Structures are given as C-alpha cells and as structure tokens.
C-alpha cells in the first residue's frame, strides 16, 4: 500500500507563472489536507477536501490559490501568478474517515519562485 | 502566541539521555497529536492522546495531557541518534474552528552520539 504521493518533489517557477502541485492520497483515504510550511516554521493549514467537495478552505488565500479533489485522479493545489512569497514547502496529508484523526503525510513539494 | 506552541525551540542532548518537549495550546480540543519530521521530509505521526486521557505510552514515547493547563509533554526515553528530528504537536479544535489540525512551530531535537 503506497503512501501519500506528491509530485513534483521540487518545482521552480518564475514570477507570474502558474504552479500545479499534485497529491495522490493513500488507498482508501477520502480526506485530503494541504499545508504550507515556511523555513523553521510549523505547518499552516490551507484547505481540507473530500472527493469533489471543498469542506474547509479557511486557511487558503482568497486570490490566486485554488484546490480540487476530483472524482478520479489526484488532488491538485493550483497557484496562479506566483510571487516570491509563495516559495515554501507544500505538504499534502490524507486520512480515512472520521476526520481529525491520524494524518499521513506526503514528502512535500518544494516550490521556489525566482 | 499561536495554538500548539512547543517549548523549547531547540534541544541538544547526549545519546542515551531522556528528551522532554512541551506544547501549549489555547482552545478546547478533541485530541492532541505529536508528529516527527526529518529534514526535508513529510511529517510522521507518533502518538495521539484524546482530551479525556491523561497519559499514553508507545515504545520509548510517553505523552501527557493536562487540559486544565492546556498543555502536553512528549518524553523520549533512552534517546538515539536516529531520534534527531523536529517534533511538532498538533491539535484538533473541538470548537468549530478550521477542520485541519493546527500545528506548532516545533522543537528541533539533536541527539549527540
């Protein structure tokens, strides 16, 4: 049973470009969470999704950021018109129901904006 | 300070010694969890303690929870070089806050061989 898979592992973008981060949860997990981590900081919650539904996006900036978890395929975190301040490690986690219990994390995507 | 604040920020001890890390939080919680993160990697779940529990053990780990003080401690006994990592506490808010876990900034633990 493969763990949470995130790709790419590293992503370099120039200011103004779009970044797409992918996350495939563990088999049988229907809950996906996205977190952002800045250097020497803890993880900041961004968004919580279930299949085809955004349950809580209270931690996600209103502009330029969007997330989806379609019926088929991985969850996608999309950042449009990236700025240098978007540079961070983005982690995806999944869990089986019920929510709020143990989370299983991917290895993260390190986004660098030039 | 933010929910899930760990103390100390950094800790360096000799192999074989015990390491104790503390976490304070602000809101009412359903559970509190501890995670470990090795450099450049994702977080790994260590242990979960529910709000109605006071102490829990798992191998060399011992976690306590004091809901009256809104604090928790993680004790790692007989530390090993492989325990070198950052340790984060995370809380699940029971008061209808964000659905995700709230993480602290972590304690960076270094075990000297």
> pLDDT of chain B along its 113 residues, tens only?
345 678 888 999 999 999 999 999 998 998 999 999 998 888 999 999 999 999 999 999 999 999 999 999 999 999 999 999 999 999 988 765 556 788 988 999 999 98
| For residues A53-59, average pLDDT | 92
Q: CA of A16: how far to CAs of A13, A81, B27, B103, in Å?
A: 8, 4, 39, 30
A9, A43, A46: best mutation site toward chain B, by most B Cβ within 10 Å?
A: A43
Contact at CB, A35 and B88, closer than 8 angstroms: no
Contact at CB, A42 and B100, closer than 8 angstroms: no
| For residues A78-98, average pLDDT | 93
Q: Alpha-carbon distance B75 to B72, whole Å? A: 10
Contact at CB, A99 and B48, closer than 8 angstroms: no
Residue A46 near residue B101, CB atoms below 8 Å = no
Q: Percentage of chain A with pLDDT > 90?
A: 77
Contact at CB, A100 and B101, closer than 8 angstroms: yes
Residue A102: pLDDT band (50, 70, 90) is confident
Residue B50 sits at the chain A interface (C-beta within 8 Å): no
| For residues A20-32, average pLDDT | 93
**What are the two backbone dihedrals, phi and then psi, of residue A104, each rounded to the nearest 5 degrees?**
-110, 120
- Find, among B5, B10, B17, the residue nearest to B72 by Cα: B5
**Is the pLDDT reported for residue A64 higher than 50?**
yes
Residue A105 sits at the chain B interface (C-beta within 8 Å): yes
State the pLDDT at residue B2.
41
SS3 for chain A is: CCCCEEECCEEEECCCCCEEEEEECCCCCCEEEEEEECCCCCEEEEEEEECCEEEECCCCCCCCEEEECCCCCCEEEEECCCCHHHCEEEEEEEECCCCCCCCEECCCEEEEEC
Collapse the DSSP code of B77 into the 3-class scheme (helix H, G, I; strand E, B; otherwise coil) and give the result: coil
Residue tagged 């790692």 (tokens): B76
CB contacts of B10 in chain A (<8 Å) are none
Residue A67 sits at the chain B interface (C-beta within 8 Å): no
Residue A90: pLDDT band (50, 70, 90) is very high
């Amino acid at each position: 049973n493969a763990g949470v898979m995130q790709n790419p592992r590293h992503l370099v973008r120039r200011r103004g470009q779009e970044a797409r981060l992918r996350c495939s949860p563990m088999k049988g997990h229907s809950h996906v969470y996205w977190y952002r981590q800045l250097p020497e900081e803890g993880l900041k919650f961004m968004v919580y999704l279930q299949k085809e539904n955004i349950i809580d996006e209270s931690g996600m900036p209103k502009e330029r950021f969007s997330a989806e978890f379609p019926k088929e395929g991985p969850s996608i975190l999309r950042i449009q018109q990236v700025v240098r301040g978007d540079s961070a490690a983005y982690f995806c986690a999944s869990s089986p129901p019920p929510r709020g219990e143990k989370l299983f994390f991917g290895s993260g995507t390190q986004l660098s904006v030039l | 300070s933010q929910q899930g604040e760990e103390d100390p920020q950094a800790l360096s001890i000799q192999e074989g010694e015990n390491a104790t890390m503390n976490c304070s939080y602000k809101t009412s919680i359903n559970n509190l969890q501890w995670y470990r993160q090795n450099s450049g990697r994702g977080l790994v779940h260590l242990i979960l303690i529910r709000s109605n529990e006071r102490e829990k053990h798992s191998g060399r780990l011992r976690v306590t929870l004091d809901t009256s003080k809104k604090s928790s401690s993680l004790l790692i006994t007989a530390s090993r070089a492989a325990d070198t990592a950052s340790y984060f506490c995370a809380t699940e808010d029971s008061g209808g806050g964000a659905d995700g876990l709230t993480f602290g900034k972590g304690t960076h633990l270094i075990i000297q061989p």
